[in-house]
Structure 1
Amino acid sequence: MKHTIFIILIVSFGFLSCNNDDENINPSSCEFETLISSEQFIDAPSDQLTINNLVINDNCLTINFGSSGCSGDTWELKLIDSNVILESDPPQRNLRLSLKNEELCDAFITQELSFDISNLKVEGNQVVLNVSNSDDSILYEY
């Protein structure tokens, strides 16, 4: 009987000490996944766009970019890794922001999207990300 009460007290204490607040849950705040595909890196749509800025925050790469269009609401975007790791110090990966844009307007629309890049980690604690349709590279440290 003493053992049963003791077990009930331990289990009850465990439930009472757990904190289920949403602030303790840390879901990815990135909007999209990064694809790793040599085929898509080559074959995915490549409509004209201008990359203005690249920023890494935790495991999210935020890309500020623009293209001509009406609203940008119909754009289809993918961040694609070439599935090749360049052996250098630090290692490098090549990426491309793919845009399919069928909007026929002359306005220039700017958007900012974030991509989860955690699947791009390599051995060590950093990798240089070369974005091919940008003149920029960015160091991803983890």
Structure 2
Amino acid sequence: MLRLILKNTKQILLYTVLGLLFLNTQCEEEDNLVNDSFCDFTTIINTSKYNNLNSDDFNFINAEINEDCLEVTIGASGCDGNSWEFSLIDSGAVAESSPEQRYLKIDFDNEELCLAYFEKKVSFNLTSVQVEGSSKIMLHIDGLDEPLEYVY
């Protein structure tokens, strides 16, 4: 009886492992379809939001473009930074120059009422601000001294 139970357990274990291996091979195609999975947030194109934006105070520590993501590190007062909310808002306007230029603002919402200072790194997907027929644009981000070149 014990032999029969061990044999059935081994077969179940073998089929389970084989099934998991099969399922693991199915994920490769799905990973290629999602191109923005490594960015934290999407970029919103909205003229009204851009013009009426009242963001809470923060400091830019660093800003750079990594592939299709704008990665920013900001600093602000707070308790731990876990409740901070972010949006990247594009004005919707494209300056017709070479290269084209776009204008953006970070909407930062901080309801934390602590005096400590924290830094946090977040990223925004930039594919929605790409200009058709162009391979690069200059991004003017409110609060940064210099525009960032986005090559795609």
TM-score range relative to shorter protein: 0.7 to 0.9
Corresponding residue number in structure 2 for 1:67: 76
Q: CA deviation at 1:23?
A: 7.7
- Secondary structure, counterpart of 1:25 in structure 2: helix
Match of 1:128 among 116, 138, 142: 138
- Between the aligned partners of 1:108 and 1:131, the Cα distance in structure 2 is 23
SS of equivalent residue, structure 2 residue 134 = coil
Q: Does the Cα contact within 8 Å between 1:127 and 1:141 map onto a contact in 2?
A: yes
Is 2:112 aligned against 1:106?
no
1:109-142 CA distance string (max 9 Å, x none): 1000011100111131000011112223110001
Distance 2:74 2:146 in 1: 13
Aligned-pair distance for 1:38?
0.8
Q: What CA distance in whole angstroms lies between the structure 2 residues aligned with 1:35 and 1:77?
A: 11
1:22 Cα deviation from its structure 2 partner:
3.1
The alpha carbon displacement at 1:83 in A equals: 0.5
SS at match of 2:82: coil
The structural deviation recorded for 1:71 is 1.1
What does residue 22 of structure 1 align with?
Answer: 28
Q: Measure how far apart 1:44 and its partner are.
A: 3.1
Structure 2 residue aligned with 1:6: none
Change (3 A) 1:48 1:42: same
Distance 1:55 1:24 in 2: 28
Q: Indicate if the aligned counterparts of 1:76 and 1:101 stay in contact, CA closer than 8 A.
A: yes
**DSSP 3-state at the match of 1:22:** helix
Structure 2 partner of 1:79: 88
More helix by share: 2
Q: Which has the larger radius of gyration?
A: 2
Amino acid in structure 2 at the alignment position of 1:22:
E
Identity %: 35
C-alpha separation between the residues in 2 aligned to 1:95 and 1:110? Answer: 21
Secondary structure at the counterpart of residue 119 of structure 1:
helix
Distance 1:63 1:56 in 2: 9
Question: What number of residue pairs does the alignment pair up?
Answer: 124
RMSD of aligned C-alpha atoms?
1.6
